[in-house]
Amino acid sequence: MQQFYSRYCRNPQSHDWRDWPFMAGDGAVQAADGYYRILGRIDDVINVAGHRLGTKEIESAALTVPEVAEAAVVPVADEVKGKLPEVYVSLKPGLGSSDDIASRVSEAVVDHIGPNARPRHVIIVPDMPKTRSGKIMRRVLAAVSNHQDPSDVSTLANPEVVDNIRALVK
C-alpha cells in the first residue's frame, strides 16, 4: 500500500491537500491574466486505425478556418478503421453553410494533424446542442452521428436543435 501512496502523494502522512494531487482528467492552463482556461478532457481520444487522435487537437485545427465559431469532434464507427472523426461546426453570425467551408475545415485538419485525422464528414450546423451553462453536449452529437438514440435531451438549453442536426446527418 505504501508503494501506491508514494506514486501519487508527496508525503503520505501529510494532511495538506497540496501533497495529495488529484487527477481530474481535465487539462487547463493559467493565462497571463491569472485566470485558468479549461482546455478539455485529456483522455478524449479517437483511435483511427491504431492512431490515437485527440479530439481537442482536431477541434483546434477546425477553428483555424476564419468562418468557424465553434467546433465539436465525435467518433463514428467505421468498418475498416474502427473509428473516424466527424466534425460539427457552427459558423459566425451572418455566414451561410457551404461546401467550400466544409472542405476548408477538412483540409485544415489534414494540414495541422495529418491525413489520418481527415474527418469522415464536416457537418455545418446552425447551433450546437448545449447545456444551460454553455457546454457542448458531444454525447448527443455522437449519438446522432452513429444513428443512435440521444436519450434525454430535456436538460439542453436548446433541445430543438437536435432534430435540426439529425436532419443534416446523412
The DSSP symbol for 37 reads E
Residue 102 has pLDDT above 90, yes or no: yes
> Taking phi first (over 0 means left), then psi (-120 to 50 degrees means alpha), and beta for anything else, what does residue 50 get?
left
Given pLDDT bands bounded at 50, 70 and 90, which one contains residue 41?
low
Q: Stretch 109-122: mean pLDDT, rounded? A: 95
Q: Which residues contact 86 (CB under 8 A, 6 or more apart)?
A: 73, 74, 75, 76, 119, 120, 121, 123, 141, 145
- pLDDT of the residue at 27: 73
Specify whether the CB–CB gap between 39 and 26 falls below 8 A.
yes
- State pTM to two decimals: 0.76
Least confident of 24-38, 75-89, 127-141: 24-38
pLDDT of residue 40: 66
- With a pLDDT cut of 70, the percent of the chain lying above it is 87
Is pLDDT above 50 for 143?
A: yes
From the CB of residue 2, how many other CB atoms can be counted at a distance below 10 Å?
Answer: 6
Cβ-Cβ contacts under 8 Å for 73 (sequence gap 6 or more): 46, 55, 58, 59, 62, 85, 86, 87, 88, 119, 138
Domains annotated for the chain, with CATH where assigned, are 1-43 (no CATH), 44-168 (3.30.300.30)
3-class DSSP assignment, residue 18: helix
Distance CA 96, CA 103 (A): 14
> Between 103 and 41, whose confidence is greater?
103
Indicate if the pLDDT at residue 4 is higher than 70. Answer: no
Tell whether the model's pLDDT for residue 94 goes beyond 80. Answer: yes
State yes or no: pLDDT of 6 exceeds 70.
no
Residue 25 has what pLDDT? 66
